[in-house]
Amino acid sequence: MTADLTAPLFQPLTVRRMTVPNRTVMAPMGRGFARNHVPHPDAPAYYRRRIEGGVGLIITEATGIDHPLSADAGGTPYMHEAALPAWKKVVDEVHAAGGLIVPQLFHQGMLHGGGTPDVPVHSLRPSGTIGTPGPTSFAPSFIERAAVPTRPMTEEEIADAIAAYGRSVRNAVGLGFDGIALHGAHGYLIDSFLWGDSNTRTDRWGGDTAQRTAFAVAVIKAARAQMPADMPLFFRFSQHKSSNYDARTNKTPQELEAMLGPIVDAGVDVLDASIRRFWLPAFEGSHLNLAGWAKKLTGKPVIAVGSVGLGSTTTETFMKVGAESDEDNVDRLMERFNAGEFDMIAIGRSLIGDPDYVRKLREGIKPTAFSRDQLTTLV
């Protein structure tokens, strides 16, 4: 890795009123350190350190919206009530360091794990199922419980969830965040409407690929109604699900285009394509990854992600499969970036391992390697 190799990453990108100073993004990573859904007291310094280390934009860990079933674990922060003053401290610290930060808002939907085997919580599911299970880091006992069908979401529950997104967007705007990111990936609530396996509805919320975007479109419009017109909106999507890493929402580029078209038309500025390794092709017959296809089909700026600087996936990390290893894949990253496949690159575990990772990327210095032990602290 050399400074000359990575120099093209260090140019600005403007989206609406936001000008990101370089093309690196701190990927949203759930750290589990919140206390009763309130960001940890060390969170402001944790995020600030990444800005001081050169990151162009921070997208926060997934943060529950103002809905009672948005997040099951107290280690996941909320974007309402008692959590707001703590988030204000995060925003102020990032801004004091000259940085930009947007919150990733989500609802766990069908993957809410609350309750007990005897008294389960009724998670929100478009059609009452979690779709086809597959390889996952979830415990087998959770999948066994979650696979039991429940009732589909009612019209009232759908309306309540959409309104909850709007309230949390309004809260985030009031705290001074620089944009909004919606989590529409990994089988959570928005994505569960997009995936045909978990959305078999025959009303206005279901149907073919384009019709299944109705819930996402409604959420995007609710978010836009609470945002200044010049504030950027990000949208994360994926093929895989947390309950099935082999799942594919879209089997062809045509299906992907049918899904992304209404989402972009509703008001999304940047598409964040969640993939496990940035170099993996999305469809047969093309080298393009999921972000590359999203850019080709929509013309919108896109973010790629997936094992930057690492030889293992996030799944392997959390399932403790194999040994953690760093991997000098920056040349492969830059080849794709220089070809215009994606506009920004999100970096996850490598930034946990080394807050100065981006600065070292810019200067051609070998960073500190990531290890699982670093997941036990918030530094």
- Positions marked active-site: 188
CA distance 370 to 352: 7
**Structure-token pair, residue 76:** 């996941």
Compute the distance between CA of residue 359 and CA of residue 350 in angstroms, rounded to an integer: 12
Q: Report the distance separating Cα 343 and Cα 321, nearest Å.
A: 31
Q: 361 near 318, Cβ under 8 Å?
A: no
Is the distance from CB of 29 to CB of 308 less than 8 angstroms? Answer: no
Angle 40-350-98 (CA atoms, 0-180°, nearest 5)?
60
Distance, CA of 336 to CA of 331 (rounded, Å): 9
344 close to 13: Cβ distance less than 8 angstroms: yes
Residue 236's DSSP bridge partners are 183, 272
Q: Which of 118, 43, 121, 127 is nearest to 77 (CA)?
A: 43
Distance of CA 209 to the CA centre of its chain: 21
Phi, psi torsion values for 106, nearest 5 degrees: -150, 170
**In a 3-state reduction of DSSP, which class is residue 314?**
helix
The answer to whether 173 touches 180, Cβ cutoff 8 Å, is yes
Cβ neighbours for 157, distance < 8 A, ≥ 6 positions apart: 124
- End-to-end CA separation in angstroms for the chain: 26
Rounded CA gap, 360 and 337, in Å? Answer: 18
Backbone torsions φ then ψ of 20, nearest 5 degrees: -85, 130
Residue 37 zone, left/alpha/beta (φ > 0; ψ -120 to 50; rest): left
- With beta carbons less than 8 A apart as the criterion, state whether 165 and 222 touch: yes
